[in-house]
Amino acid sequence: MKSVSQLIRSALGGEAPADKPVPVELLLRAGALNGERPGWDARSQRLFWVDIREPALHMFDPATRNDVSWEMPAWIGCYALDGDGGAMVALATGLYHIRLDTGTLTPFAHSPFDARRFVFNDGRCDPRGRFFGGTMYLPLKPGDMSGDAKKTPLWRYDGGGRWTAVTDPVAMSNGLAWSPDGRTMYHADTEPKTIWAYDYDLDTGTPTNKRVFAQVEVKDASGGPDGATVDSEGFYWSCIYANGEMLRFDPEGRIERRVPLPVKYPTMPALGGPDLKTLFVTSANHALSPEERALHPDEGGLFALEAPVPGVLPNLFSGDYR
């Protein structure tokens, strides 16, 4: 039986030229309110992902198209797999460890923000296994804050319940990724449509020398750069929320190719599959009315397409969770 990568590669007949549509396959009509944070696990040959707003951690098998999930007691923004078959999950109430064999959740650290007003959004581990998490403003009482009060920084977990702010405050933290050598960190804020690059110190886990990597143009004011991944050539792939596309930037921040997607609200890409050349893409449908969801059932689905080069394996959490 051919893998998803092989099937898509056969359909393409080789690499697709830049800025040309490529075949995109719907793998799972998940109907996710806010699908996010896809990540490949080479050990199990499965794709993990989350639905933030219908909170659950999911595990998808591309070979069988079977999707299993672990429901969460609070909104889940992101996760990081560990080396022992478990994962760290960032819920609105804090950081937890989950045993995937039993589903048991163990509290690990309180959130570094007011959980009445913010939730974790995008996050992952750096190349040394440190956990980072960003936020978005999602208050229990809508409209209770305004302006800069609605912003928080990107947070690094330092163990022992301690968090450290490592960036300036942003409105909607997204696009966190590292270059293949770990020396450059990328971070985006969806609202101002901006992606930044930083020099990154692997020994201390500290980003410095902030500069604009790319400014994204969108048709819909609600859109902007969402989740991202970096491939083995150091190119940065960004899903453009509400713009129905994915952009591949070269290491200097120039758009190398533009990939149209069959949904308006793509959220995040991840490279995986046996050869790490399948681009998995999550999406969302929470911005649609129930009537619109019925007319566009693929919104909120999980998709795949062939990448021109392989990705790199995700970083595992290396902290003490026992």
Q: In the block, which residue shows the tokens 């143009």?
A: 217
Residue 321 domain-assigned?
no
Residue 197 domain-assigned?
yes
Q: How many domains does the chain have?
A: 1
pLDDT at 66 over 60: yes
For the chain, percent of residues with pLDDT exceeding 70: 93
Residue 70 domain-assigned?
yes
How far apart, in Å, are the Cα atoms of 306 and each of 258, 260, 313? 14, 13, 16
Select from 288, 284, 300, 275 the least CA-distant residue to 42: 275
Q: State residue 258 phi and psi, 5-degree precision.
A: -120, 120
What's residue 109's pLDDT?
A: 95
Residue 315 domain-assigned?
no
Catalytic residues: 226
Instruction: Provide the phi-psi class of 103: left if phi over 0, else alpha when psi is between -120 and 50, else beta.
Output: left
Residue 277 domain-assigned?
yes
What's the average model confidence in pLDDT over 270-278? 97
What's residue 21's pLDDT?
A: 72
Give me the CATH number covering residue 47. Answer: 2.120.10.30
For the stretch 240-260, pLDDT in tens is 999 999 999 999 999 999 999
226 annotated as a binding-site residue: yes
Residue 311 domain-assigned?
no
Residue 317 domain-assigned?
no
220 annotated as a binding-site residue: no
Cα distance between residue 27 and residue 38, in whole Å: 13
Give me the domain span that covers residue 39. Answer: 4-306
For the stretch 148-199, pLDDT in tens is 999 999 999 999 999 999 999 999 999 999 999 999 999 999 999 999 999 9
Identity of the amino acid at 91? L
pTM greater than 0.85: yes
Q: Say if residue 145 is exposed, middle or buried (CB neighbours under 10 Å; 0-12, 13-18, 19+).
A: middle
315 annotated as a binding-site residue: no
